Amino acid sequence: MLPKRPRVIAVANQKGGVGKTTTAINTATALAALGDDVLLIDLDPQGNASTGLGVDAGDRGVSTYDVLTRTNSLSEAIRPTEVPHLSIAPATMDLLSIDIELSASSDRALRLRQAIAGLKKKRPRYVVIDCPPSLTMLTVNALAASHAILCPLQCEFFAMEGLSQLMRTIAEVRTSVNQELKMHGIVMTMYDARNNLANQVVADVRATMGDLVYDTMIPRNVRLSEAPSYGKPALLYDLKCAGSQAYLRLVSELIDREQKLGAA
Ligand code: ATP
Ligand code: MG
């Protein structure tokens, strides 16, 4: 019997530098640490998730660009990482031109969804997608393929700016191609408890977004930002650091929500 269809979670926020890639890498690693097979799909032309998991720019082989253009299947792009149970489909800068290349295809929003559905033999339990900081066809492909969105918000003054646009995009994707899509939750990132403004921002976001906001907040933690330069997830680089511990707590909350979303 084939394993169940994977649960697909997109890490998305069109604002740049809010902690999407850090969250995608460490959430995927924490899920893999529980013993389930996890696939991280890098959908950002910057390829930061690929670099952060030790796949150097010169060594990407088949990439998500080849998958979206149907030159290769997704399973051909997948490669193992240093983390047991965690594999990655890497990204290259080629993705920059994907909007133009797919503009004439009527199924352009569904390329990734179809590629994931085509995974037959080695089906992971979870797929985590690292989205680029934009609401272009790459993010639409991620949302069309996903069950739920994990949205990192940076604890800074303009945190919620753009959230309504993301919510509108989610609504459009739900009506057009993916009725199942839900907001999994919002995670506050780069939190510094000593900063009054950060505390005010957190209070505002919780007042506006209510239960959608995870209890766990990811602290500003230098180990989290150092880890990618060693090509490792923070959880492997320094398991004990406050950032790694926060991602472990986030994933335990995420799994609780998965059960509530009826995914178990
Ligand atoms: P982009 O929109 O460019 O893809 P992003 O949303 O993926 O960015 P990241 O790359 O995860 O954001 O983070 C932006 C920068 O902040 C990186 O240098 C990262 O190492 C650092 N960073 C992320 N989270 C934290 C944290 N909790 N504490 C300290 N530094 C962090
Ligand atoms: Mg990123």
Query: DSSP states of 40-74 as a string?
Result: EEE--TT-HHHHHTT--GGG--S-HHHHHTTSS-H
Q: How many whole angstroms from 228 Cα to the centroid of ligand 2?
A: 12
Report pLDDT for 2.
Answer: 52
- pLDDT per residue over 195-206, tens digit each? 999 999 999 999
Residue nearest to ligand 1 atom 20, measured at CA? 225
Q: Which of 104-113, 153-162, 179-188 has the lowest mean pLDDT?
A: 153-162
The full length of the chain comes to 264
Query: Where is 184: in which H helix or E strand?
Result: strand 182-189
Show the DSSP H helices in 85-239 as ranges.
98-101, 111-117, 137-145, 163-176, 196-209, 222-226, 234-237
Which amino acid type is present at position 73? S
Ligand 1, residue 243: give the atom nearest the CA: 27
Report pLDDT for 263.
Answer: 60
Quote the strand ranges of 32-179, DSSP E.
Answer: 38-42, 79-80, 86-89, 126-130, 148-154
Ligand 1, residue 48: give the atom nearest the CA: 10
Q: What are phi and psi of 129, to 5 degrees?
A: -110, 125
Q: How many whole angstroms from 22 Cα to the centroid of ligand 2?
A: 7
Radius of gyration of the chain (CA): 17
Closest to 159 (Cα-Cα) out of 215, 193, 206, 194: 206
Q: How many whole angstroms from 11 Cα to the centroid of ligand 1?
A: 13
Indicate the SS3 state at residue 213.
Answer: strand
Are the C-beta atoms of residues 227 and 238 closer than 8 Å to each other?
yes
- Euclidean distance between CA atoms 147 and 44, whole angstroms: 19
- Euclidean distance between CA atoms 110 and 116, whole angstroms: 10
Closest to 169 (Cα-Cα) out of 192, 148, 140: 140
Q: How many whole angstroms from 68 Cα to the centroid of ligand 1?
A: 26
Report pLDDT for 59.
Answer: 86
From 18, 22, 41, the mutation candidate for ligand 1 (largest count of ligand atoms within 8 A of CB) is 22
- Euclidean distance between CA atoms 123 and 13, whole angstroms: 27
* Residue 150 scores a pLDDT above 60: yes
pLDDT bin (cut points 50, 70, 90) of residue 158 is confident
From 14, 15, 21, 134, the mutation candidate for ligand 1 (largest count of ligand atoms within 8 A of CB) is 21
Which residues line the pocket of ligand 1, CB cutoff 6 A?
16-22, 44, 46, 48, 133, 189-190, 218, 220-221, 224-225, 228, 243
In the sheet with 182-189, reading across from the earlier edge strand, the strands are 79-80, 86-89, 38-42, 126-130, 7-11, 148-154, 182-189
Distance between alpha carbon 32 and the CA centroid of its chain, in Å? 14
Ligand 1, residue 23: give the atom nearest the CA: 11
Report pLDDT for 3.
Answer: 56
Computed over every residue of the chain, the mean pLDDT equals 94
Closest to 170 (Cα-Cα) out of 154, 184, 155, 189: 184
